[in-house]
Amino acid sequence: MRRVLTALLTILPALAFAQDGAPQPSVLVTTALPQEGSLPRTLTAYGVVQAAPGSSETLSLLRAGQVTRVMVAMGQGVRQGQPLLVVSADPAALATYRQAVTALTLAQGERNRMTQMLAQHLATRDQVAQADKAVTDAQGNLDLLTRGGGGSAEQTLAAPFDGIVSSLVVAPGARIAAQAPLATLDRSSRIVAAVGIEPGQRGLVARGQPAQVEPLDGGDAKPGSVLSVGAMLDPATRLVPVLIDPQAAAAGLLAGGPVRVVVQVGEYRGWLMPRNAVATDAKGAYVFQVAGGKAARVDVQVAGTVGDTTVATGPIDAKRRLVTTGNYQLQDGAAVREEPASAVSGVAAR
């Protein structure tokens, strides 16, 4: 027993010396100096391209008739003045026009007669005034019928502006009433992206904020801005409707096409770092900085993440290097071997 105790007493000091004299194990990490800056805070929504409010016009004629020809189809783009359809006059409308012409002729004759009788003191000025009013009324009625096609056998409905035929409600052979809707034309120069956002996001979006409109059926993203934010939920989607004005880039978007819209609703400011540099445990988010060759934990608050870059706030020392990779092997106070990086990957300070 004495021999065993003597051997242990001889070995233990040697082990203690080896532990004290040997270098402590260290972790290889990549580091970079912290950078302050900002990144845009964005909100993404999906929707379709449609006509801007107030840019559509429903076309009709002032007289009844029958559609004889239709020269366009729904969804077709048209130029100002381009014929859309031809309507033959209703026989009753032609008869009404002829009656209006006759009524004007009779009224003019009666006024001339009253004027002559006034000169002969056989009529009063009131009678002449009534005759003048009858001429004015007859002329107004005839002018209205003339604007509606007059006595012509056919009338052509033409596009009042450059646009897209979004609705066509008649076909050849259809009989139409006076002022009945025939087609709807949307101005091709005035389109918007209509998207929906969650009700909780409504407070983030405001008129005038910059946005990017990306066609999902192909094409580059177009710059734009928020045109309006809805004040009620869409009953079908239960989302808040938002309209985006693509501005001068609207020519590259197709009405009815699906789009993804990214709205810049603000910015994140703080310390910029790779997303993987931030770890989380029960106490919250944290990073490691190097102090005297050892890892020092720094608790932070994550403001936001854009792509591979995180913006965080907290008591970070600008002079101590930040551990960008290898932090998952570290504990507070652990020895580290640094492999410096030229810059924080994916970060651009602003």
pTM of the shown model = 0.63
What is the model's pLDDT at position 151? 67
Q: What is the Cα–Cα distance from 221 to 50, expressed in whole angstroms?
A: 17
| Section 287-314 average pLDDT | 94
For residue 118, give the amino acid letter.
L
pLDDT-wise least confident of 15-24, 93-102, 141-150, 177-186: 15-24
Q: Which residue is it, tokens 């016009």?
A: 57
pLDDT over 80 at 9, yes or no:
no
Work out the percent of the chain whose per-residue pLDDT is above 90.
53
**Digit-coded pLDDT (tens) for 83-106:** 999 998 877 777 777 888 888 899
CB distance 62 to 149 below 8 Å: yes
Contacts of 103 (CB under 8 A, 6+ apart): 138, 141, 142
pLDDT at residue 170 in the model: 93
Contacts with 38 (C-beta within 8 Å, 6 or more apart), sequence order: 267, 268, 269, 270, 311, 350
Domains contained in the chain, CATH given: 25-39+268-340 (2.40.420.20), 43-53+189-267 (2.40.30.170), 64-89+153-187 (2.40.50.100), 91-147 (1.10.287)
Average pLDDT, the chain: 85
Query: What mean pLDDT is predicted for residues 206-214?
Result: 93
Of the candidates 271, 273, 289, 268, the residue with the CA atom closest to the CA atom of residue 345: 273
pLDDT per residue over 169-200, tens digit each? 999 999 988 889 999 999 877 889 999 999 99
